[in-house]
Amino acid sequence: MKASTIVCKILITLGVIVISLTTWPSVYAEKLIGLAAKPNVWLEAPKEYWDDVYISPQILQRRAIEDIRILCDPQMQGRRAGTAGETKAMVYLEEQLKALHLLAMGEDNNYLQLFPIPTMRATTINGRVLFRPDINDSFLNPAANILACIPGRDPGQTVIISAHYDHLGVYQGKLYPGANDNASGVSCVLEVVRRLTADSLAGKSPIPNIVVAFWGAEEMGYLGSSYFVSQPTIPLASIKAVINMDSVANGQKEDFIFWSKENDFLVETIQKIVSNLGGRIEKNNGQGHASDELPFVKADIPAVTLLSKQWLNKNHTPADDLTQINEEKLELATDILYALVQEIAY
Ligand SMILES: [Zn+2]
């Protein structure tokens, strides 16, 4: 190479560096700040993550039924998305996850992922209250998903355990407490998260990151889970499975159903675990119903929703209150979820 060519190359390289340095702050700084604000889920949590953590046995041994009582309390006003009742439930759930020292997996290093929902009108179809978007009103309300993580040994993989925490609120002067739909699913997930946290503290960590998701605005058409799939706070490709719990604790103790797509790898595992624990479970096509598994199934991610076989009894009526909860069934549902996570994540 001629000396003049070398000099020329050096000058070009210097020019590129100078141009980069002058444009860097204005063009890229904001993007970098945005990246830094997201949780570093693709990085391994430090091995000593749990070393200096103390969580009282009182917190670790808290049972699902205690959470159901709080989520159904009239002060939560039926947890309708976009209302103060939902915010109270959100604050309560966030506190539970913080007390367990879980990693924040929402946006900007906190536990929440906010998203907009349209104004909704409630209507009654076949005795059940349902929401429909109000096409005459373009005002958007904020709602939120709540996201946290128990760090695993291989952060390139994720297993999501989830439940929606919203319900119908107050309609025509009547409170819809949503005990089975879906205080039961949320409480079941919380108890399992407490057990898994206790396991991690005892030195038994999962292989994948276990992400806990409490979806908002499911009753308005899976809006929270759909938003998460469109704006994920973790790479979708890392998600190996989504296990969603919805309306799991009413009716006959042993009887469950699940919704999933055909030939999901989770199908056999669920059937085996439920029968090992003395329950019965059958696959069900949903007959037009679905839950937060749907946005994941549409994105080709293995996902199932587990429900009580009698989930439609009193569903979306004011009678879905604490009297609907079969405590033995709630315990069985919790044991099923815990065993399922053990099977696929440890
Ligand atoms: Zn519902």
Over residues 191-208, the pLDDT tens digits come to 999 999 999 999 999 999
pLDDT lower than 50: segments of the chain? 8, 11-40
25 and 52 share one domain: no
108 CA distance to ligand 1 centroid (A)? 30
250 CA distance to ligand 1 centroid (A)? 14
218 CA distance to ligand 1 centroid (A)? 7
19 and 123 share one domain: no
30 and 112 share one domain: no
pLDDT for the residue 11? 47
231 and 189 share one domain: yes
pLDDT for the residue 224? 93
pLDDT for the residue 33? 39
pLDDT for the residue 46? 66
Q: What is the span of the domain harbouring residue 136? A: 42-345
25 and 111 share one domain: no
206 CA distance to ligand 1 centroid (A)? 31
Averaged pLDDT score across all residues of the chain: 86
pTM for this model (two decimals): 0.86
289 CA distance to ligand 1 centroid (A)? 10
Q: How wide is the angle at C-alpha 171 spanned by C-alphas 112 and 123, nearest 5°?
A: 95
Instruction: Round to whole Å and give the CA distance between 249 and 251.
Output: 7
Among 231, 238, 203, 204, which Cα is nearest to 43's? 238
209 CA distance to ligand 1 centroid (A)? 28
pLDDT for the residue 123? 83
167 CA distance to ligand 1 centroid (A)? 6
In CATH, what number is assigned to the domain containing residue 123?
A: 3.40.630.10
pLDDT for the residue 2? 53
Tens-place pLDDT, residues 105-143: 998 888 999 988 877 778 888 889 888 777 676 667 789
236 and 328 share one domain: yes
268 and 216 share one domain: yes
29 CA distance to ligand 1 centroid (A)? 43
181 CA distance to ligand 1 centroid (A)? 5
Q: Can you list the positions of beta strands (E) in 189-228?
A: 208-215
20 and 146 share one domain: no
Q: Which residue has the tokens 């960590």?
A: 205
274 CA distance to ligand 1 centroid (A)? 24
> What are phi and psi for residue 250, nearest 5 degrees?
-105, 165
18 and 54 share one domain: no
182 CA distance to ligand 1 centroid (A)? 7
Q: Which residue has the tokens 């949903």?
A: 286
67 CA distance to ligand 1 centroid (A)? 18
What is the widest separation between alpha-carbon atoms in the chain?
89
Q: How wide is the angle at C-alpha 233 spanned by C-alphas 230 and 239, nearest 5°?
A: 80
- Are 248 and 306 in contact by the 8 Å Cβ rule? The answer is yes
Number of domains in the chain: 2
- Are 209 and 152 in contact by the 8 Å Cβ rule? The answer is yes
157 CA distance to ligand 1 centroid (A)? 30
pLDDT for the residue 35? 40
pLDDT for the residue 45? 64
- Are 182 and 130 in contact by the 8 Å Cβ rule? The answer is no
Both tokens assigned to 86: 């939902």
pLDDT for the residue 44? 59
Helix axes 64-72, 327-345, angle to 10 degrees: 120
